[in-house]
A and B are shown apart, each in its own frame.
Chain A
Amino acid sequence: MRRAPAAEVAVVDLRVCDRCGLCLPLCPPEAIHLVLTELVVDRTTCTGCRKCVAPCPVGALAMLPA
């Protein structure tokens, strides 16, 4: 299904991220991946819902304009 691109997408600060994986199951479109122990947000599938931002125990996720 096609959708309008999100105005904002989640970005991860890898200097702060502890690679705990907490945000992965919180993401409705499953846009967050752990690749070679690096957290990656897929900008093309992120819907900008922000559900991953507040739960991050160290505040490593934030929203930025897409």
Chain B
Amino acid sequence: MRDVDLLVVGAGPAGAVAAREAKCAAPELDVALLERDAAPGTPVRCAEGVGDAGLREFASPDGAPWVARKITRVILVAPDDTEVSVEGRDVGWVLDRTRFDACLADEARRAGAALLVESEAAGMSRGADERWHVRVRTPRAEETFRARIVIGADGVEAMVGRWAGLDARVPARDMESCAQYVLQGIAFDPEAIYLQFGRAVAPGGYAWLFPKGVGVANVGLGLVALKADGRNARQYLDAWIARRYPEGAKAGYTVGGVIVHTTIKATYTDGALVAGDAAHMINPLSGGGIVNAMKAGRLAGRTAAAALRARDPSARRLAAYHHAWMELLGEDHLKYYRIKRALEDLDDGFFNGLARTVNRIPQERRTLGRIFRRALVKHPQLIPVAARFFM
């Protein structure tokens, strides 16, 4: 039996930031950070794209070893292959998650948290001592950790939330099934990310190309299986690559789920919080979740530290975390989710027409606001979609 004040399960962006923030807020606390795999950041299950402003709240990408590419434009590809380029000076970055996650975990370790790799939480129960008893398996042994607060940052599978009695189930229509290759030897603009929509390409989602280097990129797609024709994500991706990048050599391969839902109803209970993908904190419109996870991890770590200092890890106290998250991003996600649902009703013909409308706006005048206004005038089908944002 090993006693800790705070046990963080999962050393991805949410967990690593939570452990670091808790330790920085209350250095006297014993904080342990569990990672199931041999090293944080492995295996990569991510397209690795991140927005500039959000990233900078946590780490400077300038010259950082965990950056793969700087992105200055987004190329949206309509179902009929019409390309629309949207420029921006500081659009975002494609990360090297293996290095990025390792760097975040190292910051937690340097702040004083114990980083335990090859350590998998296998179950947990509430003890009579009002602490969580968490069974942790390593390749060599099984040990029980006794924690005053547990933060579940264990990703899509969200086992900590389940054990703590929180409901993190997802309706099938809000689960993106994703597959991705690292493709080598293909031609593309190395400062752009490409997103293609279309029923035949990725029904209910989109296909992407995120550059990792010159001629090397993460090429993948996410789809909603309910809208698919019986093929799985990997089969759709193979078809897309055969059409767009037949010369590509497949280096890496990964699959995974992206939950495009809204934040779970309760992200807290007595002595437990959940953060990041485990709490459905992904932007339901874009599918992006890295910065959201770090923001949630920061809130969770600080809330847990304050609760432990006050010797009150009760649900009533930890509810402050949920409210802070909803105010920060959770309420916005409710709006994005409504837009996502409204966009689902629009067909390929609409997006082909929209691409042509936007291409009539000169490149240097192509701001999001102008695109939005022109689109509303030319495509009145969008009005109910926009209205959902304000409902």
Contacts and interface: CB of A to CB of B under 8 A. Distances in A.
Genuine A/B complex: yes
18 contacts: A20-B45, A20-B257, A21-B257, A22-B256, A24-B156, A24-B159, A25-B168, A25-B175, A25-B259, A26-B169, A26-B170, A33-B159, A36-B120, A54-B230, A57-B177, A57-B178, A57-B234, A59-B234
Contact of B256 (A20, A34, A35, A51): A20
Interface residues of B, number: 31
Contacts of A56: 177, 232
Contacts of A24: 156-159
B59 interface: no
Interface in B114-153: 120, 122, 137
Contact of A21 (B122, B155, B228): B155
A21 B122 CA distance: 14
B324 interface: no
B156 A22 contact: yes
B255 to A, nearest CB: 4
Interface string B171-196: 01001011100000000000000000
Interface string B46-85: 0000000000000000000000000000000000000000
A36 B140 CA distance: 12
B255 A37 contact: no
Nearest to A30: B162
A21 B257 CA distance: 7
Contacts of B172: 26, 51, 54-55
B254 A59 contact: no
B156 A25 contact: yes
Contacts, number: 80
Interface residues of A, number: 23
Interface in B205-220: none
B225 interface: yes
Contacts of B234: 57-59
Interface centre among A21, A23, A30, A34 (most CB of B within 10 A): A21
A57 B158 contact: no
Contact of B232 (A33, A34, A58): A58
Interface of B: 36, 45, 120, 122, 137, 155-159, 162, 168-170, 172, 175, 177-179, 225-226, 228, 230, 232-234, 254-257, 259
A59 B257 contact: no
A5 to B, nearest CB: 22
A58 B255 contact: yes
Q: Which 8 A-B pairs have the closest CB atoms?
A: A22-B257, A21-B157, A57-B255, A57-B233, A54-B225, A55-B225, A20-B256, A25-B170
Contacts of B157: 21, 24-25, 34
A53 to B, nearest CB: 8
B232 A59 contact: yes
B169 A18 contact: no
Nearest to B137: A36
B266 to A, nearest CB: 15
Nearest to A18: B255
